[in-house]
Amino acid sequence: MSASGGRKLAHVALLPSAGMGHLTPFLRLAALLVARNVQVTFITPHPTVSLTESQALSTFFASFPQIKQKQFHLLPVEKNSFDPFFNHIELIKSSSHLLPPLLSALTPSLSAFITDMTLASAVIPITQAISLPNYVLFTSSAKMMTLFLSYPTLAGSRVLDDLEETDVIKIRNLELMPKSLVPPPLLQKSDNFLKKSFMEDSGKVTESSGILVNTFVSFEFESLGKINDGEVLERPPAVVAIGPLPPYASEKSRLQLAWLDDQPAGSVLYVSFGSRTALARDQIRELGVGLITSGSRFVWVVKNNIVDKEDSQELEEVIGHELMERINEKGLIVKSWVHQEDILSHPAVGGFLSHCGWNSVMEAAWHGVRILAWPQNGDQKVNADIVERIGLGTWVRSWGWSGEMLVNGAEIAERIRACMGNESLRIQALGIKEDARKAVGFGGSSDKGLTELIGMWNQF
Ligand code: UDP
Ligand code: UDP
């Protein structure tokens, strides 16, 4: 720790996991910490899976010269999963024995270490061995955390089993959770990456010094309360809601959004399924038909491949010539990374057709943009359920998981019209925006949570 005017300042190291959904909240947290005079070392697993991640890192370090970057060179490993991001998580974990020399070389010595829940089982033992306070940043919802923390117990008691009669699961004193919300791999009998990861990481997360979560109290009051009251685990680590993690200035591209600038306030639907979800080709085309038929204006980000580096097809090849021409009359369509922050903060944008990745949910709340939820996989149905219950959006549950059915254009159009025309939803979303801003504003619940943590780190 360094002394500044006689006061000790905390030095915190952050280690993110793979994919923009995990990197972005770490970058935002780092920006928030330096703004509060914490010294930050940001450890970057190298190489990254996507081009977008490496570009985001370059822009970030150029904007925050006071943040120290430490590259963590990963060892090559055999690929076990079909998912390149999951493979990368394995790669980071299996290279973790290289972390101790990297950490001990840091000066001043660290006050705390923050890593992603997906890396907990590999990283927490390392920090425990050197008695370094270790925190986990949980990048999904608190509701998802209830499932994550209780998963080893649930799996042990067979309540998750596919063959069980009941279609709900019971997490101790929590409300029953329909199995239809649970990420399908967690219900499978056969081994898979997500199951293994939940089994290994959950137990280690409970040994951490605390869990930070990108949510806010009024948004997830019940889940946060139940975890901290010991209703999920008997003795949980302290769970501190610090969200929504606000976007930092250089996340804005400052590109001219000329087309958006010309649209009436609140009239445009933004359509995106996040950084790593590609819809099937026939579903992409039905979505195109739905957007045109809805009569709404739209900005549509088409994703044709999980990893950007592997996507060489032109947009017109994906969409088809005729559909492409019709789309160009009504909206803006792109097949590249966009700065979601630019779009959600634009006054013309009034709705978000979203897969409900947790960052997207928090960003919609931050900007008060109503959501039409179309979860595809993973934690997204749990998140969509939260969105619907809190009144930030609507969700057509019958659309199922990705690939379960082909949702036709006419139905998509009808749901878009209903969402964009829903005045009470628009007003509710604006109320949620106010709550989100209050939570991170001076004296708000998330502000207080982070201030207390930093106070503790300053003492260490
Ligand atoms: N994002 C973006 N531009 C895109 C796609 C995604 O800026 O074209 C950002 C989005 O704002 C969010 C993150 O990437 O911060 C995606 O995280 P999320 O949890 O929403 O979904 P995931 O990509 O992990 O499924
Ligand atoms: N997850 C996890 N451990 C892993 C991989 C994923 O805890 O090794 C979490 C993930 O962050 C989310 C849920 O499991 O809460 C479902 O993961 P998904 O397939 O959506 O991947 P993500 O895009 O969130 O990494």
Q: What is the ipTM of this complex?
A: 0.91
Q: Catalytic: which of 116, 308, 342, 379? A: 116
What percent of the chain clears pLDDT 70, i.e. is strictly above it? 97
Residue 116 annotated as catalytic: yes
- On whether the CB atoms of residues 337 and 331 are closer than 8 A, the answer is no
Interval 376-390 mean pLDDT:
98
Q: Is the pLDDT of residue 144 over 80?
A: yes
Judge if the beta carbon of residue 275 lies within 6 A of ligand 1: yes
pLDDT digits (tens, 9 = 90+) for 397-411: 999 999 999 999 999
Cα–Cα nearest to 297, from 258, 336, 332, 344? 332
Structural domains of the chain in order of their starting residue, each with its CATH number: 4-248+439-457 (3.40.50.2000), 254-436 (3.40.50.2000)
Q: CB within 6 Å of ligand 2 — which residues?
A: 19, 21, 85, 89, 117-118, 139-140, 144, 148, 183, 194, 197-198, 201, 276, 377-379
Measured in Å, residue 30 CA sits from the centre of ligand 1 at 18
Of all protein residues, the one whose alpha carbon is nearest to atom 18 of ligand 2 is 378
Which amino acid belongs to residue 48? Answer: T
Interval 249-267 mean pLDDT:
84
Measured in Å, residue 23 CA sits from the centre of ligand 2 at 13
Burial environment of residue 392 by CB neighbours within 10 A (0 to 12, 13 to 18, 19 or more): buried
Backbone angles phi, psi at 373, to 5 degrees: -85, 135
Residue 1 has a pLDDT of 42
Q: Is the pLDDT of residue 3 over 60?
A: no
Sorting pLDDT into bands at 50, 70 and 90, what band is 159? confident
What percent of the chain clears pLDDT 90, i.e. is strictly above it? 82
Tokens, residue 170? 């019971």
Q: Is the pLDDT of residue 314 over 60?
A: yes
Residue 83 has a pLDDT of 87
Residue 78 has a pLDDT of 72
Residue of 49, 53, 117, 147 to mutate, ligand 2, most atoms within 8 A of C-beta:
117
The residue with greater pLDDT, 389 or 337, is 389
Q: Catalytic: which of 22, 88, 346, 355? A: 22
Residue 2 has a pLDDT of 43
Residue 346 annotated as catalytic: no
Q: Is the pLDDT of residue 266 over 70?
A: yes
Judge if the beta carbon of residue 377 lies within 6 A of ligand 1: no
pLDDT digits (tens, 9 = 90+) for 188-214: 988 999 999 999 999 999 999 999 999
Residue 387 has a pLDDT of 98
Considering only 214-218, 234-238, 267-271, which range has the smallest mean pLDDT? Answer: 234-238
- Nearest-atom number in ligand 2 for the CA of 183 is 16
Residue 162 has a pLDDT of 65
Torsion of CA 263, 266, 268, 272, to 10 degrees: 140
Of all protein residues, the one whose alpha carbon is nearest to atom 1 of ligand 2 is 118
